[in-house]
Structure 1
């Protein structure tokens, strides 16, 4: 998991203006924290934070507060710099760029970086869901849905101080009302045209699609598609009516308990196959359903979606045609998918301009076989007995990670490969479904079979019912708990939140804290096993992997007060603010900054080099462990209820008792009893708050001593490394820190040069010692040289297995060499005899002319010349062979 760097953002803490974004609303400011938190927990999920880049939208009560976090941070830094300069000049630390909070009117001040957005809602806002194009914001209460047309950032940062009133539309003014079922989820369809299709799911299992258009008011009043899942679960043919019932009188039905919706979810737009158009619905009782394909009337697919569906449907048709064991239901399903694809292929898409200058292809929803798909489920979960939950535990949220796009099958036979995103490289080829229960238990399930498009059969007696159809199932790959047994509360509503760094990481937010979960440790390993063609020992490998590899689960935040209800964690990642997670209690923000990975830091440094002379200095490394901020209990700042009670008592029927002496009576006893109850409750809360503050202050002293000790140790190490400690011990040496650093750098350079020289010498020695093997040509040449040496010199160690041809050649050459030696010896003997004769006579007479016959002389000379010619020829032959070998 990413390492937490800090738990604080000074520009969002009290008394800075950024803290006003997270303060309580006016209507809940007078309620005790325990009552407000219990009321918020029982009304559904708490997703009150949404963001658009660095802009954040925070719901407080019935209003939305907008703030630009980057502007708030810059304004706070500018204020700090001006405050510091003013304090040095004249001691004035005031800053006129910010307006203070008006205690009399209890209004949020307007200023740079934040504004108030007025809403027409009549009750507390529970969820904020921003559209994919970041231009619309769905605002949900417990029973109503509104859509806010978000203005451009320039309109919110125009400098005006009045509350901003954008255009609001009420979705389903006669459908989503307080007299009907509550709204549990509002989802922007991933395939909607320019992100304008909103899907609402109510608690009574009714799914509605709203294709919103600002120029058509009727699109906000009537849904384009309405499906009652309870009716669809019992449906038998396509021609039935699956719309929601309009009657208010409802009879008892077991489906009201078994199909009570807890949450719903879509996969991402870039998922493979049918995943982007599959709505997953989690029921409170633990059942999971899928609705595929659920499409708006006009939808825009990504470029690779329709080709991938065509390939998968064609492969399925080809497989069923050659499979003799194919059932009637499978053939009917393949036929319906083929009709659906044929209707889609016959369409000519319309081209629309996208939000960023892109061209979007818009298709119409195929009318065949039908617009309402079949309800698949309930899925059977392969849960071990020790993982089964109690009857009182309910599902609260569902999170789906779609399968990666299969570009290999799509580009089969093409000359080029389709570009794959970085997220698809280490992704699974199956969908991952995560289920979250009230107890904080997370079940990670794998959709091994893959959910495909299904429709009910047409009204035909032969194909009306599928009695032998298999029950779909999900493989429970991993189960873990995010809550301790003491932290479990029956009225809590934990929720999932996406991460911005990887698709296989998410956050679980509950009343006891925020937990980070990463599935990356086993995703790549599981994908390699799924793609492996070998089936030998597959069961053993899967079992070993399931028991060995676990998800990375870590609690990153725990609130100080257990009664606080945390907003769903929202992940941010920007170049201005960094990587952090933002949440909020009922009165304070909760923020956690993470360290940026080293690879991203290196890339950022290469793209934007930092100047240390005139620019900002890089942030130093921290040597302490980050800790969550301590917020004193709001009981210390809450006004007492005793003065209002006294004022009310003076205007009540007991007013005469307040103007006379205290007498023993029943009315006096009632007054004292009521006052004692009020005072005792307030004193009890104050005692607890003061005791908590005292314990924190006492612990802070020990933590401060520990930090001072650590800083002192680090300082001593730095002085030892830089040599500053030695210079201080020797007072005669007056050397600056710059000289010490330079001297140490010079020493290190000399040491580096010596090490480089030693490495070069070792490399040379190793090059001399280590000899490589001879090639075939070199071995042949060496053998020829040895044969020639043996033929000339008569090598006695010649091997016995030498061929007869080489032996005969060597014998002839040796015989000729012996004849030359014999002639040389004979000539030396004759010369010695002549010398000895002259020495005996003792006269220095000239050498007598020896009369040698001309025939003998010519014969001897010819014999010597022939021998010389042979030797010359042999030398030339060896020389030419050596030259050829060197050239080759």
Structure 2
């Protein structure tokens, strides 16, 4: 978990020039804006009006886009601070440290999204989408601070219009080709219409019509891939359907980023979250030209071909799975038949990626998978979902690297990955739901239409495993308009930030994911059900509040924090940034350590206290920021130009007359001035309350310091300068006992920690070795040979000794009998003497005699070896008992 080192840095707060980046136009009074602003609706949608490009930041203030380089702003502030200290100069008249980017957008901007290569900026209003061409950072960083008018294209002038459904999400495709001349953007509207736009500045038609458009309400009931799933055109009447409410889109995101270490299907899967609570998946959703990471095609081949070969052996039992697998095989075979093309030189492509054309077989439009649902246990069916975040499953390295060197396979593994998809959802009441999708989502398509055959594909709802539901804010019973949004963390893919209306909370699942993955990948499944239940019943995510914005300024009332952005740079550090109108909120955090080295050993706890940095204390609250109303101009300065008609201005220089026009003028002036003075009074009263609270806290701190000083003085009065205790001072036996008790307690905790650690290591899913398995089987065999009946404790040694004596007597009898037979055998004749044919005993050949004697000796040796082995085994058993 990251720890907050400090809040909004000085170079972003007044009176530094960096604060002007988030300051509204001084010609406009915040009180007037609040007075004239309409009340926000209950469903405000996601507010993503701050974005980044490296160290650069784009912010929407007063519906205008501003650009600034935070690293340069910080450097300039440091230089000006040094100059001010040296020459005693003020910085009140410094020019603003930002550039205004002028775009012909007339609606209220709700989202700004830079392209992956930073060449374009998608500007999303409620009903329109504009694509602006961004200049290079060197051009924006020039000394000229004038407004820059950007080249802008309107996306779908006849598609995204006011009478149509509003735009909910706009996403840059992770597998699209993004160059300086074009890119791939996916837009999703509230009526569940998904459109893919493959932009090309040399082809203006690409900004007018999408290359692929799908209406999810039609696709969910589709039976054949030959049907028309395109959304209804502009101006066409739409009939009523229950899907209008059940499939109202809240948000959407792709399942992956196109990384080589994540599941191959993830970056081409679009997840769509509906407001009532259902989730749907489109896989694969690709543009006509897409880039494939280096591990995508091999991983798909290693997964599809063996699965189809296994399903073909039993086609009657798993017919649906076999049909889906054959579709995936046909889709993959068409990709294999293509010749990959190298991406353009100016494109922001994945390392080692090849460019392919989208397969036309089985279809360009995939089948809609879902709905995916999870049981929350609540009475209400509608969850009022707001945002979705999908963390892709890790790539199955074992199947991909089968037959390769073991060293290469080990290098390709990653321990910070989970073999299941994690889906995080936010609802309007501020709750975060963390779910697991264990089956995996692969490519699926609708079947082709056939004559005289009607077959409806099975589409049953799939269940998600709800791991945990957490709250991100405290509810005091009053309704508050909030739309929680996700922001990915930089350091860990299983950590993220959630931005609410007034706070930002950090969630981390890294430790839980590691424990869950080690149990899922264990070879020995004995007791795994119990261990998984224990893992899932505990805390899944650790949460910590990073920022808290106090709505004390009138300009920030009933406003929503913009979705935060995270920077991690040598100049900026680990910085979280968001803002209210005219008030930036930031937090500088410590970079989290590695998950394995973050676990502190209790043996060295005494050496890892705050001795290294005794002043590194966590701040209790964010620093006070001066409200914007104190810096705003008086509304009476431009009152005449704004509120008095031109034909009545000459009456202001005449004698005041009692008339309806004069009364109207006075009431208007009172309304404007009262709003401004009310804002000033509220800001001043908040400052007064803060000063009173600060005085009380200082008194408490002084009292604590005095108490500590008295205690130190009492202890030091009994000790000489050389460290020895003075004569007549109190005995230190009590202090020594307390110190020894603390040390004993620490040693006990260390021993308990070591015992628990060893127990967890031994029982944490570690498979048995071959020697251990052989030893277990040998013990079972020996226990069976001893006897099934268990002897009593007093009779066990007697039975073993009796059996040993019996074995020894049998061996002695066999040896004696063997010697007797050997003595009765005729002796071999001498080499020169002839055999007497008339002897009393029959003549036995010498070769047969030697053979019989050899067999007998081998039998004796074998029995002796068996006896010795049994004797040694019994001796070991006696010693172990």
TM-score by length of structure 1 reads 0.71
- Confirm or deny that 1:46 pairs with 2:47: yes
Match of 2:563 among 543, 568, 576: 568
> Judging changes above 3 Å, is the alpha-carbon distance between structure 1 residues 552 and 619 closer, same or farther for their aligned structure 2 residues?
closer
1:633 deviates by 3.7
1:54 deviates by 1.2
- Confirm or deny that 1:138 pairs with 2:122: yes
> Judging changes above 3 Å, is the alpha-carbon distance between structure 1 residues 74 and 711 closer, same or farther for their aligned structure 2 residues?
farther
Paired position in structure 2 for 1:361: 354
1:264 deviates by 0.5
Quick check: 1:313–1:338 contact (8 Å CA) kept in 2?
yes
1:700 deviates by 2.2
Paired position in structure 2 for 1:55: 56
> Judging changes above 3 Å, is the alpha-carbon distance between structure 1 residues 434 and 327 closer, same or farther for their aligned structure 2 residues?
same
> Judging changes above 3 Å, is the alpha-carbon distance between structure 1 residues 18 and 332 closer, same or farther for their aligned structure 2 residues?
same
1:63-107 Cα distance to aligned partner (Å, 9 max, x none): 2211111111111111111111113xxxxx146xx9635xxxxxx
Mapping for residues 627-706 of structure 1, pairs under 5 Å: 627-639=621-633, 641=635, 648=643, 681-704=675-698
1:163 deviates by 1.9
Paired position in structure 1 for 2:199: 212
1:521 deviates by 3.1
Q: How many residues align?
A: 692
Mapping for residues 26-425 of structure 1, pairs under 5 Å: 30=30, 31-33=32-34, 38-39=39-40, 42-87=43-88, 93-94=89-90, 100=94, 109=96, 114-194=98-178, 196-248=183-235, 249-266=237-254, 267-270=256-259, 271-323=262-314, 326-354=317-345, 355=347, 360-381=353-374, 383-386=375-378, 389=380, 391=382, 394-415=384-405, 417-418=407-408, 424-425=414-415
Aligned residue for 2:292, secondary structure, equals coil
1:671 deviates by 7.3
**How far apart are the structure 2 equivalents of 1:125 and 1:10?**
29
Quick check: 2:28–2:633 contact (8 Å CA) kept in 1?
no
Please, what is the CA RMSD of the aligned residues?
A: 3.8
1:86-137 Cα distance to aligned partner (Å, 9 max, x none): 13xxxxx146xx9635xxxxxxx4x5xx322221212232111122223322
1:619 deviates by 9.7
1:4 deviates by 0.2
**How far apart are the structure 1 equivalents of 2:38 and 2:417?**
39
Paired position in structure 2 for 1:577: 572
1:594 deviates by 0.5
The structure with the largest alpha-carbon Rg is 1
Aligned residue for 1:396, secondary structure, equals strand
1:308-334 Cα distance to aligned partner (Å, 9 max, x none): 111111122022123365333222111
Paired position in structure 2 for 1:879: none
Paired position in structure 2 for 1:747: none
> Judging changes above 3 Å, is the alpha-carbon distance between structure 1 residues 644 and 19 closer, same or farther for their aligned structure 2 residues?
closer
1:12 deviates by 1.2
Quick check: 2:491–2:592 contact (8 Å CA) kept in 1?
no
TM-score by length of structure 2 reads 0.71
1:14 deviates by 1.6
1:291 deviates by 0.5
Quick check: 1:404–1:430 contact (8 Å CA) kept in 2?
yes
1:658 deviates by 9.9
**How far apart are the structure 1 equivalents of 2:558 and 2:622?**
17
**How far apart are the structure 2 equivalents of 1:503 and 1:141?**
29
Paired position in structure 2 for 1:555: 545
Q: Which runs of 5+ in 1 are unaligned?
A: 88-92, 102-108, 604-617, 730-888
Paired position in structure 2 for 1:613: none
> Which structure has the higher relative contact order (CA within 8 Å, separation 6+)?
2
Quick check: 2:388–2:425 contact (8 Å CA) kept in 1?
yes
Paired position in structure 2 for 1:764: none
Quick check: 2:225–2:446 contact (8 Å CA) kept in 1?
yes
Q: Which runs of 5+ in 2 are unaligned?
A: 552-556, 599-611, 724-881
**How far apart are the structure 2 equivalents of 1:688 and 1:8?**
23
Aligned residue for 1:161, secondary structure, equals coil
1:45 deviates by 1.2
**How far apart are the structure 2 equivalents of 1:368 and 1:175?**
28
Quick check: 1:61–1:123 contact (8 Å CA) kept in 2?
no
Mapping for residues 805-816 of structure 1, pairs under 5 Å: none
Quick check: 1:650–1:658 contact (8 Å CA) kept in 2?
no
Quick check: 1:6–1:627 contact (8 Å CA) kept in 2?
no
